[in-house]
Amino acid sequence: MSTETDVDGGDTGDSLTLALAQLHVDAGEVEANVERALAAVSRAADRGADLVALPELFNVGYFAFDLYARNAEPFGGETFTRLREAAADHGIAVLAGSIVEDLAATESVETPAADGFSNTAALFDADGERRLVYRKHHLFGYESAESELLVPGETLETATIGGMTVGVTTCYDLRFPELYRRLVDAGAELILVPSAWPYPRIEHWQTLSRARAIENQAYVATINGSGEFEEATLLGRSSVYDPWGVPLASSGDEATLITTEIDPRTVVDVRDEFPALRDRRR
Protein backbone atom coordinates (compact mmCIF):
# COMPACT_ATOMS: atom_id res chain seq x y z
CA MET A 1 0.00 0.00 0.00
CA SER A 2 1.38 3.37 -1.01
CA THR A 3 1.48 6.52 1.05
CA GLU A 4 2.02 10.07 -0.08
CA THR A 5 3.94 12.92 1.48
CA ASP A 6 4.41 16.52 0.45
CA VAL A 7 7.75 18.20 -0.19
CA ASP A 8 8.30 21.95 -0.47
CA GLY A 9 11.24 23.25 -2.45
CA GLY A 10 11.18 26.85 -1.27
CA ASP A 11 10.32 30.22 -2.78
CA THR A 12 12.40 32.17 -5.28
CA GLY A 13 10.08 35.16 -5.57
CA ASP A 14 7.17 36.33 -7.70
CA SER A 15 7.01 33.36 -10.05
CA LEU A 16 5.21 30.24 -11.17
CA THR A 17 4.41 27.58 -8.59
CA LEU A 18 5.15 24.16 -10.08
CA ALA A 19 3.94 20.87 -8.61
CA LEU A 20 5.23 17.42 -9.58
CA ALA A 21 2.91 14.54 -8.73
CA GLN A 22 5.03 11.44 -8.20
CA LEU A 23 2.15 8.98 -8.30
CA HIS A 24 2.06 5.37 -7.19
CA VAL A 25 1.14 3.40 -10.33
CA ASP A 26 -0.45 -0.05 -10.26
CA ALA A 27 -0.19 -2.05 -13.49
CA GLY A 28 -3.50 -2.04 -15.33
CA GLU A 29 -5.49 -0.48 -12.47
CA VAL A 30 -6.61 2.40 -14.64
CA GLU A 31 -9.46 3.72 -12.52
CA ALA A 32 -7.43 3.69 -9.30
CA ASN A 33 -4.45 5.30 -11.04
CA VAL A 34 -6.59 8.05 -12.58
CA GLU A 35 -8.25 8.72 -9.24
CA ARG A 36 -4.79 9.22 -7.72
CA ALA A 37 -3.98 11.64 -10.50
CA LEU A 38 -7.18 13.62 -9.93
CA ALA A 39 -6.51 13.74 -6.19
CA ALA A 40 -3.00 15.06 -6.89
CA VAL A 41 -4.41 17.80 -9.12
CA SER A 42 -6.78 18.83 -6.33
CA ARG A 43 -4.03 18.77 -3.70
CA ALA A 44 -1.68 20.79 -5.91
CA ALA A 45 -4.39 23.40 -6.47
CA ASP A 46 -5.04 23.58 -2.72
CA ARG A 47 -1.35 24.34 -2.22
CA GLY A 48 -1.51 27.22 -4.68
CA ALA A 49 0.24 25.58 -7.63
CA ASP A 50 -0.16 27.15 -11.07
CA LEU A 51 0.89 23.98 -12.90
CA VAL A 52 0.94 20.31 -11.90
CA ALA A 53 2.66 17.58 -13.91
CA LEU A 54 1.95 13.83 -13.88
CA PRO A 55 4.24 10.87 -14.77
CA GLU A 56 4.53 8.85 -17.97
CA LEU A 57 1.73 6.34 -18.64
CA PHE A 58 0.36 7.01 -15.16
CA ASN A 59 -2.99 5.38 -15.92
CA VAL A 60 -1.95 1.94 -17.21
CA GLY A 61 1.70 1.70 -16.08
CA TYR A 62 4.67 1.88 -18.43
CA PHE A 63 5.83 -1.71 -17.92
CA ALA A 64 2.36 -3.22 -18.38
CA PHE A 65 3.09 -3.80 -22.08
CA ASP A 66 0.47 -6.52 -22.54
CA LEU A 67 -2.21 -4.05 -21.39
CA TYR A 68 -1.38 -1.21 -23.78
CA ALA A 69 -3.81 -2.14 -26.56
CA ARG A 70 -6.65 -2.95 -24.17
CA ASN A 71 -6.33 0.39 -22.38
CA ALA A 72 -5.49 2.65 -25.32
CA GLU A 73 -7.75 5.69 -25.69
CA PRO A 74 -8.34 8.33 -28.34
CA PHE A 75 -7.04 11.78 -27.47
CA GLY A 76 -10.51 12.87 -26.40
CA GLY A 77 -11.04 9.73 -24.31
CA GLU A 78 -11.96 9.43 -20.65
CA THR A 79 -8.53 9.96 -19.04
CA PHE A 80 -7.67 13.21 -20.79
CA THR A 81 -11.25 14.43 -20.52
CA ARG A 82 -11.32 13.93 -16.76
CA LEU A 83 -7.99 15.71 -16.32
CA ARG A 84 -9.01 18.55 -18.63
CA GLU A 85 -12.15 19.02 -16.55
CA ALA A 86 -10.12 18.85 -13.33
CA ALA A 87 -7.83 21.59 -14.64
CA ALA A 88 -10.81 23.85 -15.29
CA ASP A 89 -12.57 22.95 -12.03
CA HIS A 90 -9.50 23.71 -9.91
CA GLY A 91 -8.12 26.57 -11.99
CA ILE A 92 -4.72 24.93 -12.46
CA ALA A 93 -2.75 23.96 -15.56
CA VAL A 94 -2.20 20.19 -15.85
CA LEU A 95 0.38 18.20 -17.77
CA ALA A 96 -1.40 14.88 -18.20
CA GLY A 97 1.89 12.99 -18.13
CA SER A 98 1.05 10.48 -20.84
CA ILE A 99 -1.35 7.76 -21.88
CA VAL A 100 -1.36 5.13 -24.61
CA GLU A 101 -3.21 6.94 -27.38
CA ASP A 102 -5.15 5.02 -30.03
CA LEU A 103 -4.22 7.12 -33.04
CA ALA A 104 -6.77 5.54 -35.36
CA ALA A 105 -9.58 6.45 -32.95
CA THR A 106 -8.39 10.02 -32.40
CA GLU A 107 -10.39 12.58 -34.33
CA SER A 108 -10.09 16.29 -35.17
CA VAL A 109 -7.01 18.47 -35.08
CA GLU A 110 -4.91 16.16 -32.88
CA THR A 111 -4.89 13.32 -35.44
CA PRO A 112 -1.35 12.59 -36.71
CA ALA A 113 -0.66 11.01 -40.09
CA ALA A 114 -0.31 7.51 -38.65
CA ASP A 115 -2.26 4.63 -37.17
CA GLY A 116 -1.26 2.49 -34.22
CA PHE A 117 -0.56 3.58 -30.65
CA SER A 118 1.43 6.48 -29.27
CA ASN A 119 2.86 7.51 -25.89
CA THR A 120 1.03 10.85 -25.70
CA ALA A 121 1.14 13.71 -23.19
CA ALA A 122 -1.17 16.73 -23.17
CA LEU A 123 -0.88 20.11 -21.47
CA PHE A 124 -4.15 21.77 -20.44
CA ASP A 125 -4.29 25.31 -19.13
CA ALA A 126 -6.22 26.52 -16.08
CA ASP A 127 -9.35 26.90 -18.22
CA GLY A 128 -9.10 23.30 -19.39
CA GLU A 129 -8.01 24.29 -22.89
CA ARG A 130 -5.52 22.10 -24.73
CA ARG A 131 -2.27 24.03 -25.15
CA LEU A 132 0.23 21.39 -26.20
CA VAL A 133 0.37 17.77 -27.34
CA TYR A 134 3.57 15.74 -27.24
CA ARG A 135 3.96 12.23 -28.60
CA LYS A 136 7.17 10.60 -27.37
CA HIS A 137 9.88 10.82 -30.03
CA HIS A 138 12.39 8.23 -28.83
CA LEU A 139 10.90 4.83 -28.02
CA PHE A 140 12.78 2.60 -25.60
CA GLY A 141 13.93 -0.77 -26.91
CA TYR A 142 16.33 -1.95 -24.21
CA GLU A 143 14.47 -4.58 -22.12
CA SER A 144 11.26 -2.85 -23.19
CA ALA A 145 8.51 -3.57 -25.72
CA GLU A 146 7.69 0.11 -26.20
CA SER A 147 9.49 0.42 -29.55
CA GLU A 148 7.63 -2.65 -30.85
CA LEU A 149 4.17 -1.56 -29.70
CA LEU A 150 4.12 2.19 -30.31
CA VAL A 151 4.91 4.66 -33.08
CA PRO A 152 7.08 7.73 -32.42
CA GLY A 153 5.85 11.30 -32.49
CA GLU A 154 7.03 13.79 -35.07
CA THR A 155 6.02 17.26 -33.85
CA LEU A 156 7.47 19.45 -31.10
CA GLU A 157 5.37 22.22 -29.58
CA THR A 158 5.71 24.84 -26.86
CA ALA A 159 3.05 26.70 -24.90
CA THR A 160 2.93 29.66 -22.53
CA ILE A 161 1.79 28.88 -18.99
CA GLY A 162 2.02 31.44 -16.19
CA GLY A 163 4.32 33.66 -18.22
CA MET A 164 6.77 30.85 -19.02
CA THR A 165 7.35 29.09 -22.32
CA VAL A 166 6.94 25.38 -21.63
CA GLY A 167 8.08 22.33 -23.62
CA VAL A 168 7.63 18.61 -22.99
CA THR A 169 9.73 15.52 -23.61
CA THR A 170 9.27 12.02 -22.19
CA CYS A 171 11.63 9.77 -20.21
CA TYR A 172 14.06 8.12 -22.71
CA ASP A 173 14.15 11.42 -24.62
CA LEU A 174 16.56 12.62 -21.91
CA ARG A 175 19.33 10.72 -23.69
CA PHE A 176 18.94 12.78 -26.88
CA PRO A 177 20.14 16.35 -26.23
CA GLU A 178 19.37 17.60 -29.74
CA LEU A 179 15.65 17.41 -28.92
CA TYR A 180 16.16 19.86 -26.05
CA ARG A 181 18.13 22.23 -28.26
CA ARG A 182 15.14 22.34 -30.61
CA LEU A 183 12.88 23.27 -27.70
CA VAL A 184 15.24 26.00 -26.50
CA ASP A 185 15.45 27.36 -30.04
CA ALA A 186 11.64 27.51 -29.92
CA GLY A 187 11.88 29.63 -26.75
CA ALA A 188 11.44 26.99 -24.02
CA GLU A 189 12.30 28.17 -20.51
CA LEU A 190 10.81 25.19 -18.65
CA ILE A 191 10.93 21.61 -19.94
CA LEU A 192 8.72 19.01 -18.28
CA VAL A 193 9.78 15.37 -18.52
CA PRO A 194 7.10 12.84 -17.49
CA SER A 195 8.86 9.52 -16.97
CA ALA A 196 8.76 5.92 -15.80
CA TRP A 197 12.47 5.54 -15.02
CA PRO A 198 13.37 2.28 -13.23
CA TYR A 199 16.11 1.07 -10.94
CA PRO A 200 19.07 0.66 -11.12
CA ARG A 201 19.95 3.61 -13.41
CA ILE A 202 19.75 6.35 -10.74
CA GLU A 203 22.95 8.07 -11.85
CA HIS A 204 21.76 8.26 -15.44
CA TRP A 205 18.42 9.72 -14.37
CA GLN A 206 19.93 12.44 -12.23
CA THR A 207 22.94 13.27 -14.42
CA LEU A 208 21.06 13.48 -17.72
CA SER A 209 18.32 15.63 -16.23
CA ARG A 210 20.79 18.02 -14.67
CA ALA A 211 22.87 18.16 -17.85
CA ARG A 212 19.84 19.09 -19.95
CA ALA A 213 19.19 22.00 -17.56
CA ILE A 214 22.82 23.20 -17.54
CA GLU A 215 23.50 22.99 -21.26
CA ASN A 216 20.20 24.65 -22.21
CA GLN A 217 20.14 27.16 -19.34
CA ALA A 218 16.52 26.26 -18.69
CA TYR A 219 14.45 24.78 -15.89
CA VAL A 220 14.07 21.02 -16.26
CA ALA A 221 11.46 19.19 -14.18
CA THR A 222 11.46 15.39 -14.20
CA ILE A 223 8.25 13.70 -13.05
CA ASN A 224 8.71 10.02 -12.30
CA GLY A 225 6.33 7.40 -10.98
CA SER A 226 6.50 5.11 -7.96
CA GLY A 227 5.66 1.44 -7.81
CA GLU A 228 6.70 -2.11 -8.69
CA PHE A 229 6.01 -4.09 -11.85
CA GLU A 230 6.95 -7.66 -12.74
CA GLU A 231 9.86 -6.42 -14.83
CA ALA A 232 10.97 -3.28 -12.99
CA THR A 233 10.62 -0.94 -10.03
CA LEU A 234 10.29 2.79 -10.63
CA LEU A 235 12.95 4.78 -8.80
CA GLY A 236 10.96 7.99 -8.20
CA ARG A 237 13.37 10.84 -7.46
CA SER A 238 11.36 13.48 -9.29
CA SER A 239 13.30 16.74 -9.36
CA VAL A 240 13.30 20.37 -10.47
CA TYR A 241 16.63 21.81 -11.69
CA ASP A 242 17.19 25.51 -12.27
CA PRO A 243 19.11 26.92 -15.28
CA TRP A 244 22.42 26.52 -13.38
CA GLY A 245 21.61 22.85 -12.77
CA VAL A 246 20.92 23.42 -9.08
CA PRO A 247 18.20 21.10 -7.69
CA LEU A 248 15.37 23.19 -6.24
CA ALA A 249 13.26 20.26 -5.06
CA SER A 250 13.54 16.49 -5.19
CA SER A 251 11.95 13.36 -3.77
CA GLY A 252 12.74 9.81 -2.73
CA ASP A 253 11.14 6.77 -4.32
CA GLU A 254 7.75 6.90 -2.57
CA ALA A 255 4.61 8.61 -3.85
CA THR A 256 4.74 12.32 -3.12
CA LEU A 257 3.83 15.80 -4.27
CA ILE A 258 6.70 18.25 -4.83
CA THR A 259 6.09 21.98 -5.10
CA THR A 260 8.57 24.74 -5.79
CA GLU A 261 8.67 28.26 -7.22
CA ILE A 262 10.36 28.94 -10.55
CA ASP A 263 10.98 32.36 -12.03
CA PRO A 264 11.26 33.13 -15.77
CA ARG A 265 13.54 36.05 -14.92
CA THR A 266 16.13 33.56 -13.70
CA VAL A 267 16.37 32.07 -17.19
CA VAL A 268 17.01 35.50 -18.68
CA ASP A 269 19.53 36.41 -15.98
CA VAL A 270 21.50 33.16 -16.34
CA ARG A 271 21.63 33.40 -20.13
CA ASP A 272 22.79 37.02 -19.89
CA GLU A 273 25.39 36.35 -17.21
CA PHE A 274 26.85 33.26 -18.86
CA PRO A 275 25.95 33.51 -22.58
CA ALA A 276 26.89 29.99 -23.65
CA LEU A 277 23.87 29.65 -25.94
CA ARG A 278 24.96 32.73 -27.87
CA ASP A 279 28.39 31.17 -28.40
CA ARG A 280 27.00 28.15 -30.26
CA ARG A 281 28.46 27.48 -33.71
CA ARG A 282 25.91 25.94 -36.04
- Cα distances (Å, whole numbers) of residue 69 to 89, 102, 190, 228: 30, 8, 32, 21
Name the active-site residue from 56, 73, 189, 261.
Answer: 56
**pLDDT tens for residues 125-179?**
999 999 999 999 999 988 789 999 999 999 999 999 999 999 999 999 999 999 9
pLDDT tier for residue 110 given thresholds of 50, 70 and 90: low
Say whether pLDDT at 10 is over 90: no
Q: Is 8's pLDDT higher than 80?
A: no
pTM of the model: 0.94
- In this prediction, residue 136 carries a pLDDT of 98
In this predicted structure, the answer to whether residue 31 has a pLDDT above a threshold of 80 is yes
pLDDT beyond 60 at 261: yes
Identify any residues that bridge with 133 across adjacent strands, giving them in sequence order: 122
117 - beta bridge partners?
A: 102
**Residue 189 bears catalytic tag:** no
With 60 as the cut, is the pLDDT of residue 225 above it? yes
- Please name the residues in contact with 58: beta carbons below 8 A apart, sequence gap of 6 or more: 23, 25, 33, 34, 36, 37, 97, 98, 99, 194, 225
Mean pLDDT of the chain: 93
Question: In the prediction, which pLDDT does 155 show?
Answer: 94
Over 90: is that where the pLDDT of 108 sits? no
Of the residues 29, 101, 146, 171, which is catalytic?
A: 171
DSSP tally for the chain: helices H, then strands E: 7, 15
Catalytic-labelled residue, pool 136, 146, 189, 261 = 136
Please name the fold of domain 5-279. Answer: Nitrilase/N-carbamoyl-D-aminoacid amidohydrolase (3.60.110)
What residue segments make up the domains of the chain, in order of their start?
5-279
Q: Where are the alpha helices (DSSP H) in 65-176?
A: 68-71, 78-90, 146-149
Q: Is 136 labeled as catalytic in the residue annotation?
A: yes
Is 157 known to be catalytic? no
